[in-house]
Structure 1
Amino acid sequence: MSIVGQIADTSGVAALQALSMTSMGALALLALSAPALAQELCAGYGPQTPRDISQTDGLNQPLFTLAPDASEMNLCNIHAHLGAEHKGPGFSVAKSSDARDGYVCNEASTLTPAELEESAEEVEVFENVKPGDTVEVHWVYTSCDVAPGPGLAACASTACTNPELRVEAQVFLVVNDSKALDFTDFAYEGNIVDGRHQAKSLPTETGDPVVFAGSTTGEAYSHQICSPLAATWSVRPACAKLDIGSLQRWSEGKLVFAETEAHAVRELVTAPELLAPIE
């Protein structure tokens, strides 16, 4: 069972389409459509995300099996969040006292003036990200036979309304350094392997990913308003430095994802009742 909860009147496609909307009004409508609006923890949902990947305890047993490896699925979306949504060994520093600001890479305070220098050129894409910021990038994969596109709506179709989802996640420390990682190495650019849409590569030097059952994320959700969509997560535990120029070059291209800025984060889920145990 890949979509947990099976919320009344909310099919997989409809829910994914709702998640693809980015305006605050759309997020408000999505939040109001959720059945759990009380101050208590939302009930009747599968495990939620994001979480502290160093903590393995959880009381919410998933009702779905973990998704296959990313190589056996279709890449359907790539997007970034400003601040790490997850907390992990390499990104354990809270960005601020507001839990909705997420976390930053541990070495963010040790960057050199050169790494923090902003470009003198006018930036028109990903202008809400600057050197020294932490971003969490999500490569979203689906069991549906679909092509990549904007938002999570691209991960389903009328012929595949209840997809299995897998999210490969990497937290980056953005720097002004052409010798840092190049984001275009991890882009899509029409790459097809064995008939499946795939990223050109995924980060491999940041530790073994922590794999667990969870949900889709986004600022519309909280401990009281849970996501109804299940996802298998694969989160790498260490940060990596990323050249900001490469991120901007990626977004300036003719992207099928239509990504022009980093998204807000969902506050960390800490209630054991909302977390799956990590094996």
Structure 2
Amino acid sequence: MNKTRVLCATAMLFPLLVNAGMTQDASHSVSDKVIENQRTSLASNTLGKGYGPQSPRDIDSIQGNNKRIFSEAPDYMEMNLCNIHFHKNAEHKGGEFTKYAGNGDGHGYQTGYQYTGKLSKKELSPLKHEVGASQHGSLHPGDTIEVHYVHSTAKVSPGPTLGACLSKANSNPQLRVETQVFVLVNDAKAMSFMELTKLGIKNGFNQALNIPNNTGEPVEYEGSTTGPGYNEIASPLQVSWSVRPKVMKVDINSVGQWLEGNVFDEDHAHGVRNLVINPDLLSAESD
């Protein structure tokens, strides 16, 4: 694996007016004890059982004791894009997304990490309609999302869930997740999520054609699949991660448009897994 590159967030260039992340749906947060118990269960359920390194993690500190080694997946341009989905609040911590959203409901919602920059009142102007409404709430200007562009070495086409990344001929492919954190703004001049998720064939591979390449050098590490279902158990799947440290603004209305119809059957944001902090479940920086 290429040497992991850890970059600090760059300073904001312009004076801004309002803190991002102030529009989160208000809800009761569970106590620190609940999260502590989940971490204890994860440690107990994995101790001595041979699980590989887990995700998500703090990308500003790539240290760990997990010695399980697997081959780094190829560059994403040499793999097939198989799935795109996103989580409300960043699962990873670091770069420009280090503000803790709180413990949330204990099931992955209203927790995670938020953009630490500032947004203007215009960018935060409220919508007249709901975006991505679900039983866990909806999306609002100022919210942070972490988008996962999932790639597979199997001969597959884009589709719903991780199942789209597997095939009858290859049920154990190498997986790579290209990761970009966005902050939602009510601004038609911001990036369009429809363009950021535009699909096509490039050099014979299914690709998302406009994955950002101007949000800092990705931090690369070996980990696992994520999601709150793994708060107390380990994911057995091996994933090569590339996480960009800078946040990009995206027009929330274009996110709503994408959620109304896409090949991945995505219609709302997913919850987040607790940040993995147990060094025995984290990979070390590679040489």
Which bracket does the TM-score occupy, shorter chain normalised? 0.7 to 0.9
Contact between 1:211 and 1:278, CA under 8 Å: does it hold in 2?
no
| Residue 210 of structure 1 pairs with residue 214 of structure 2 | no
Q: Give the alignment of 1:253-264 within 5 angstroms.
A: 253=261, 255-264=262-271
Are residue 92 (structure 1) and residue 81 (structure 2) matched? no
1:58 aligned residue = 64
The letter for the 2-side match of 1:267 is N
Structure 1 residue 112: Cα displacement: 2.1
Q: Distance in 1 between matches of 2:129 and 2:93?
A: 33
Write out aligned runs for 1:18-57 (5 A): 40=44, 42-43=46-47, 44-57=50-63
Partner Cα separation in structure 1 for residue 86 and residue 165 of structure 2? 16
Q: Distance in 1 between matches of 2:121 and 2:171?
A: 49
Greater helix content: 1
The gaps in structure 1 that reach 5 residues or longer are: 1-35
1:198 equivalenced with 2:202 (yes/no)? no
Aligned counterpart for 1:160 among listed residues 152, 170, 187: 170
Compared CA separation, residues 216 and 209, structure 1 to 2 (3 A): same
Letter in 2 for 1:128: S
Counterpart for residue 255 of structure 2: 247
Work out which of the residue numbers 183, 186, 200 in structure 2 matches 1:176: 186
The equivalent position to 1:265 in structure 2, one of 266, 272, 277, is 272
1:258/1:167 CA distance change after superposition, 3 Å: same
Structure 2: runs of 5 or more not aligned: 1-39
Q: Residue deviations 1:188-210, cap 9 Å, x none?
A: 44x01122100011111210000
Between the aligned residues of both structures, percent identity stands at 47
More strand by share: 2
Q: What is the letter of the counterpart of residue 240 of structure 1?
A: M
C-alpha distance in 1 between matches for 2:41 and 2:101: 27
Distance in 2, matches of 1:124 and 1:87, equals 23
Correspondence 1:87-166 to 2 at 5 A: 87-98=93-104, 100=108, 101-107=111-117, 110-121=118-129, 123=131, 128-166=138-176
- Equivalent residue number for residue 78 of structure 1: 84
Q: Provide the alpha-carbon RMSD of the alignment.
A: 1.9
Give the TM-score taking structure 1 as reference length. 0.81
The alignment covers a number of residue pairs equal to 239
Q: Runs of at least 4 residues of structure 1 off by over 6 A?
A: 124-127
Q: Distance in 2 between matches of 1:122 and 1:219?
A: 24
1:25 paired residue number: none
- In 2, Cα distance between equivalents of 1:124 and 1:58: 36
CA distances 1:74-127 after superposition (whole Å, capped 9, x unpaired) = 0000000001000012101101144841000001xx322211122224546687
